[in-house]
Amino acid sequence: MPVSDLPGGQLKQTRVRHVVVAICAALSLAPSSFAQVPPLWGALQPGPERVGFTTVFRFDPERTWARTYDAAGVFVPDSNGRPVQVSVWYPAQATGPCAGMSFGGAVDVDVVVPPPLTDFASAMRLRNREDAHSAVPAERFSELLSSPLHSCAGAPPSGGDAPLVLYAGGLNASVISNIVLAEFLASHGFAVASVSLVGAGDAQVTQSRSAIDLEATVRDLEFASTVVRQLGLARGTRVAVVGHSLGAVAAMIFAARHGNTRAAIGLDGTYGFEGAGSLLTTGFGYDPTRMRAAVLDIRRAEGEQEARLDMASVRAMKYARRDLVAIGAMHHSDFTSFAMVADRFLTPIDPKYAGTRWDRRTGRDGHETTARLILALLFETLKADPLARGRFEALARKHESVRWAALVASPLPPSPEETSRLLTTEGLERVKARFRAACADDAPAGCVDAARFNSFGYALLGKHQVREAIAVLELVAWAHPGLANAQDSLADAYLAAGDRERARRSLQRAIELAPTDASLGPADRERSISEWTARIRAWP
pLDDT tens per residue across span 444-474? 998 899 999 999 999 999 999 999 999 999 9
Query: In the predicted model, what is the mean pLDDT of residues 353-365?
Result: 96
| pLDDT at residue 114, rounded to an integer | 87
Helix, strand, coil shares of the chain, percent, nearest 5, are 45, 15, 40
Q: What span, in angstroms and rounded, lies between the C-alpha atoms of 209 and 205?
A: 13
Fill in the DSSP letter of residue 88: E
pLDDT in tens, 261-275: 999 999 999 999 999
**In the prediction, which pLDDT does 255 show?**
99
Average pLDDT over the chain, rounded to an integer: 92
Q: Residue 86 burial (CB < 10 Å; 0-12/13-18/19+)?
A: buried
* Predicted local distance difference test score (pLDDT) of residue 35: 55
Give the Cα separation of 49 and 41 in Å (integer). Answer: 16
Contact 77, 65 (CB under 8 A): no
pLDDT tens sequence across 20-66: 333 333 333 334 345 578 999 999 999 999 999 999 999 999 999 99
**Residue 539 — pLDDT band, cuts 50, 70, 90?**
confident
Residue range 412-421: average pLDDT?
Answer: 95
What are the phi and psi torsion angles at 15 (to 5°)?
A: -90, 120
Tell me what the mean pLDDT of segment 157-170 comes to: 96
C-alpha distances in Å from residue 522, one per residue of 156, 514, 526, 527, 529: 65, 10, 6, 9, 11
Predicted local distance difference test score (pLDDT) of residue 110: 80
Q: Is the pLDDT of residue 8 over 50?
A: no
Single-letter residue type at 206: T
**Nearest to 485, CA basis, from 421, 528, 434:** 528
Torsional class of 46: left (φ above 0), alpha (ψ -120 to 50), beta (otherwise): beta
What 3 state SS string does 348-412 have? CCCHHHCCCCCCHHHHHHHHHHHHHHHHHHHHHHHHCCCCHHHHHHHHHHHCCCEEEEEECCCCC
pLDDT at 6 over 80: no
Please say whether the beta carbons of 216 and 205 come within 8 A.
no
The set of long-range contacts for 32-38, using a CB threshold of 8 Å and a minimum separation of 24, is 34/98, 34/150, 34/152, 38/147, 38/148, 38/149, 38/150, 38/183
Give, in order, the Cα–Cα distances in Å from 35 to each of 45, 56, 124, 315: 8, 26, 30, 40
Residue 76 has pLDDT above 80, yes or no: yes
Backbone angles phi, psi at 298, to 5 degrees: -115, 130
pLDDT > 90 in the chain, percent: 87
Element (H, E) at 324: strand 322-327
C-alpha pair distances (Å), 157 with each of 22, 100, 319, 379 = 20, 15, 36, 20
Predicted confidence (pLDDT) at residue 10 exceeds the cutoff of 70: no
Strands (E), 38-120: 50-60, 82-92, 97-98, 100-102, 111-113
Report the pLDDT value the prediction gives residue 203, as an integer from 0 to 100.
86
Write out pLDDT tens, residues 226-246: 999 999 999 888 999 999 999
Task: Kindly state the helix (H) or strand (E) to which residue 194 belongs, with its residue range.
Answer: strand 191-195
3-class SS string, 143-184: HHHCCEEEEEECCCECCCCCCEEEEECCCCCCCCCCHHHHHH
CA geometry: angle 353, 357, 359, nearest 5 deg: 60
Yes or no: say if 308 and 302 are a contact pair by the CB < 8 Å rule. Answer: yes
pLDDT at 391 over 80: yes
For residues 163-174, give the mean pLDDT. 98
Question: What are the tens digits of pLDDT across the range 307-351?
Answer: 999 999 999 999 999 999 999 999 999 999 999 999 999 999 999
Nearest to 193 by CA among 177, 201, 182, 204: 182
The CATH number of the domain covering residues in 49-94+153-407? 3.40.50.1820
**Domain spans in the chain, listed from the N-terminal domain onward:** 49-94+153-407, 416-538
Closest CA to 317 of 247, 268, 264, 274: 264
Share of residues in the chain with pLDDT > 70 (%): 94
Task: Give yes or no for residue 283 having a pLDDT over 90.
Answer: yes
In this prediction the pTM is 0.88
- CATH of region 416-538: 1.25.40.10
What is the mean pLDDT of the segment spanning 176-192? 99
Alpha-carbon gap, residue 65 to 201, rounded angstroms? 4
Q: Which residues contact 19 (CB under 8 A, 6 or more apart)?
A: 104, 108
